[in-house]
Amino acid sequence: MNQKQSFSSAYGWFIQRITGILLAFFLIVHINVLHFGEKFFIDFNMVTQRLEGSFLWAIFYIIFIPVVLFHGLNGIWGLVEDYRPSQGAQKTVKVLLWILGIVGTFYGILAITPFL
């Protein structure tokens, strides 16, 4: 029926798996450091001590944030698609999710700059 659309779904499926594998790594590190490693009360100084001047942590979050946002919003997209909304509704949701993802990525990366 609509070849272009079915191709974009296959890409979505593939990227979801790739970002998922990446997230397994990122989340295990993130959770291990913040929920199992640190003392139970986290404050500004604690985060700064870890992140300040650390090129590796900066790169870690610059990759982590867009990947996790893409995975989450692409997942929501899959859920919306399953419910078979009209073409117009699909377009609206797609635009909305992309805006959320792009704004979230920039704001998320901006949010870690005070600690660097």
Q: How far apart are CA 45 and CA 28, in angstroms?
A: 23
The region of 3-11, 28-36, 52-60, 88-96 touching other proteins under the rule CB under 8 A is 28-36
- Report the distance separating Cα 114 and Cα 116, nearest Å: 6
Which spans in 32-86 are helix H?
A: 44-51, 55-82
Site string for other proteins, 66-85 (x = CB under 8 A): --xx--xx-xx--x---xx-
Question: Please, what sign has the CA dihedral across residues 20, 26, 30, 31?
Answer: positive
According to the binding rule CB under 8 A, does residue 53 interact with other proteins? Answer: no
Does position 9 interact with other proteins (CB under 8 A)? The reply is no
Please identify which residue in 31, 59, 96, 102 interacts with other proteins, judged by CB under 8 A: 31
Q: At what angle do helices 55-82 and 3-31 cross, to 10 degrees?
A: 140
Question: How far is Cα 100 from Cα 103, in angstroms, rounded to an integer?
Answer: 5
Any contact of residue 7 with other proteins (CB under 8 A)? Answer: no
User: Contact positions toward other proteins, by CB under 8 A?
Assistant: 17, 20-21, 23-24, 27-28, 31, 35-36, 40-45, 47, 65, 68-69, 72-73, 75-76, 79, 83-84, 100, 104, 107-108, 110-115
